Amino acid sequence: MNETRQVIIIGGGPAGLAAGLYTSRARLSNLLIEKGIMGGLMVLAEVIENYPGFPEGISGYDLAELMHKQATKYGLATLVAEVAGFEVQGKLKVVRTSQGDFAARVVIIAGGSERQKLGVPGEKDFIGKGVSYCATCDATFFEGVPVAIVGGGDSAISEALHLTKYASKVTLIHRRDQLRATRIMQEKAFAEPKMEFRWSSVVESIEGDTTVNRLRLRQVATGEKSTLEVAGIFVSVGFKPNTAYLKGIVPLDAGGLIITNDKMETEIPGVYAAGDIRHNSGRQVITAAGEGAAAAINAEHFVTESG
Ligand code: NAP
């Protein structure tokens, strides 16, 4: 077992980095464990327009870098490792990772979520060959060709708008006849001449030879089938929480999200959750950061009071 700390933070998105900043400034010994790049899913956002303090917007990558820099300035320790297990051993919590086991009095779980798949024939076969889950990463591969995007939320709209800078046409396929995205995002999408909409439609299969050529669609109400010729399809149908390793240990809701009280604390004393991984989270960068800060403040009280 590696050295015991006061606080371990799982996840380096806005919730984890805010918890890192607050626990560092509280002079708690801490360790933030992140499996990939600091910032989590936030780094995929080309521009974040609703994080206070940036009236012109800021790229997710830049905001992540600033948050990381600010937390490390106050002493946040970080480790790149994948978390594979979690155990409560008396007062200690043990986090099992690809780089060994780490123990702490308090754990703040801020591991976020990952992209939901469509689960239709062809999807797996064409990943990287026309099927993508990240427009910010892959849009440039589709210069001058038609693409589709599936989903009706804020992510689908902001990714679709990004795609219009490259693709010849962007067809948004949504399973209902109304978008879920916020009004301002809807207005932008409807004003964009390169965008087309296939309402109340679902993708039944993704087809092609070496790369994607077409989608088979079904109209939900009428059952009518159609084909859409595209060179790529971007899937943006929500997220699923990274909580598989917590099942049976930390209370989860039916969707796998961690249940906490308003102090961000789970039923297990000293185990907190913050950000997209938490039931009832606001699922915004600003709310994730706020929840991370709240979890850290309550974690500090826990460490002080429980000795
Ligand atoms: P979301 O809000 O959960 O939207 C997911 C979309 O995918 C919904 O329109 C949903 O349809 C559709 N969908 C789900 N499963 C599907 C399936 N199997 N087949 C077809 N369509 C399916 O997810 P999100 O857009 O990724 O956003 C997640 C959170 O992040 C939200 O709270 C959002 O506000 C936030 N966010 C905010 C911004 C911003 O600029 N403020 C940017 C990105 C994300 P239904 O509508 O029918 O359920």
Assess whether 101 carries a catalytic annotation: no
What digits encode the pLDDT tens for the residues 192-206? Answer: 999 999 999 999 999
Q: Which of 138, 177, 262, 276 is catalytic?
A: 138
3-state SS string over the chain? CCCCEEEEEECCCHHHHHHHHHHHHCCCCEEEEECCCCCHHHHHCCCECCCCCCCCCECHHHHHHHHHHHHHHCCCCEEECCEEEEEEECCEEEEEECCEEEEEEEEEECCCEEECCCCCCCCCCCECCCEECCHHHHHHHHCCCEEEEECCCHHHHHHHHHHCCCCCEEEEECCCCCCCCCHHHHHHHHHCCCEEEECCEEEEEEEECCCEEEEEEEECCCCCEEEEECCEEEECCCEEECCHHHCCCCCECCCCCECCCCCCECCCCCEEECHHHECCCCCCHHHHHHHHHHHHHHHHHHHHHHC
Establish whether 137 is a catalytic residue. Answer: yes
Give domain 117-235's CATH superfamily. FAD/NAD(P)-binding domain (3.50.50.60)
249 — pLDDT class (breaks 50, 70, 90): very high
CB 225 less than 6 A from any atom of ligand 1: no
Rounded Cα gap, residues 105 and 89, in angstroms? 10
In tens, the pLDDT along 88-120 reads: 999 999 999 999 999 999 999 999 999 999 999
In the chain, how long is the greatest CA-to-CA distance?
A: 66
Q: Which atom of ligand 1 is nearest to the CA of 176?
A: 47
Looking at per-residue pLDDT, the higher value among 77 and 45 belongs to 77
What separation in Å is there between the alpha carbon of 239 and the centre of ligand 1? Answer: 8
44 lines ligand 1 (CB under 6 A): no
Task: Give the start-to-end residue ranges of the domains of the chain.
Answer: 3-114+239-306, 117-235
Q: What is the mean pLDDT of the chain?
A: 96
Candidates 30, 31, 39, 42; CA nearest to 12 is: 39
pLDDT at 306 over 90: no
At residue 13 the predicted structure's pLDDT band, cuts being 50, 70 and 90, is very high
pTM of the model: 0.84
What mean pLDDT comes out for the span 157-165?
Answer: 96
Residue identifier of the C-alpha nearest atom 2 of ligand 1: 153
Q: Tell me which residue of 237, 208, 8 sits closest to 125, measured CA to CA.
A: 208
- Ligand 1 centre distance from Cα of residue 159 (Å): 11
Domain 3-114+239-306 classification at class level: alpha beta
From CA 276, how far away is CA 162, in angstroms rounded? 23
What confidence category does residue 136 fall into, taking pLDDT thresholds of 50, 70 and 90? confident
The answer, yes or no, to whether residue 155 has pLDDT greater than 80, is yes
pLDDT of residue 303: 95
pLDDT level of residue 307 (50, 70, 90 thresholds): low
138 is catalytic: yes
